[in-house]
Amino acid sequence: MEIVDLSTLPDSEARYTEFLKQVCEKHGIDHAAYAGMNPAAGTVAGYVTYGDDWKSHYQDQGLIMLDPTLHMTKRSIAPVDWSRLERSDNFQRVFRDAHDFGLSDQGVTIPVRGPYGDIGLLSATRDCSREEWKKQLSHVIGDLQSMAVHIHDTVVSSDEVTSSLYHPTLSTRESEILQWVAAGKSQQDIGDILSISHRTVEVHLRSSREKLNALTTPQAVGRAIGIGLISPG
């Protein structure tokens, strides 16, 4: 696989690292990193908020070949707390070096599996007590899951090969609900109109947002109208 250095493109570097910085700020995390593997396009993409000194050390030492937060975590469906990887020699090797650059070995990696064998990994790290970390994680993990899928889908669909495959297909229920949202109805109203639970409406909306790669419902409505999946108002 060829490593695409997307950071050479001024547009995307600003875009993705800015997104990761926002995630850090929002959730009180020291650093965040995204790595994506796209076998359909044969590419690997990576964005990090780490300093340049660590980035070049990581590259020079070929740590990408060893890093268990990249190679092991994709075999889990759940976020992997790095304490699960501690016993591997490669973990000790990578994080001994990381320690010299002031980086903590406390973190989590969220694996994302896409429909075409594509895999995305969003990692977050923070230097704090174990108890504090566990507590923080339980609060933010749901949102980090959504952020992981969002950045992954954005990266994958920015590739020409996969973007031609990656077109959103909403179910009848999903477009129906989105159409009611466009008509100004609340989730409660929509549940009543369609005789389904309020939570079912929420679940379908969440799914529609993800399929349309939108973080908010208004964005999703806008995109659905834009590509003709629903009609305006």
Contacting residues toward other proteins, per CB under 8 A: 72-80, 84, 110, 112-115, 138, 141-146, 148-150, 169-174, 196-197, 199-200, 203-204, 206-207, 210-211
DSSP run (H or E) holding 57: helix 52-60
Choose between 57 and 141: whose C-beta lies nearer to other proteins: 141
In whole angstroms, the minimum distance from the beta carbon of 142 to other proteins comes to 4
In whole angstroms, the minimum distance from the beta carbon of 157 to other proteins comes to 13
Q: How far apart are CA 133 and CA 124, in angstroms?
A: 11
In whole angstroms, the minimum distance from the beta carbon of 119 to other proteins comes to 8
Choose between 29 and 144: whose C-beta lies nearer to other proteins: 144
CB neighbour list of residue 34: distance below 8 Å, 6 or more residues apart: 16, 20, 45, 46, 47, 48, 120, 121, 122, 123, 148, 151, 152, 155
Alpha helix (H) ranges present in 183-216?
187-194, 198-211
In whole angstroms, the minimum distance from the beta carbon of 197 to other proteins comes to 5
The sheet carrying 107-113 orders its strands as: 2-3, 43-48, 31-38, 119-125, 107-113, 80-81
In whole angstroms, the minimum distance from the beta carbon of 207 to other proteins comes to 4
Q: How far apart are CA 31 and CA 23, in angstroms?
A: 9
- CB half-sphere exposure, 5, CA atoms < 13 A: 3
Q: Is 105 helix (H, G, I), strand (E, B) or coil?
A: coil
DSSP run (H or E) holding 139: helix 130-157
Choose between 129 and 195: whose C-beta lies nearer to other proteins: 195
Q: How far apart are CA 54 and CA 73, in angstroms?
A: 21
Choose between 105 and 174: whose C-beta lies nearer to other proteins: 174
Choose between 27 and 50: whose C-beta lies nearer to other proteins: 27
In whole angstroms, the minimum distance from the beta carbon of 34 to other proteins comes to 14
In whole angstroms, the minimum distance from the beta carbon of 108 to other proteins comes to 10
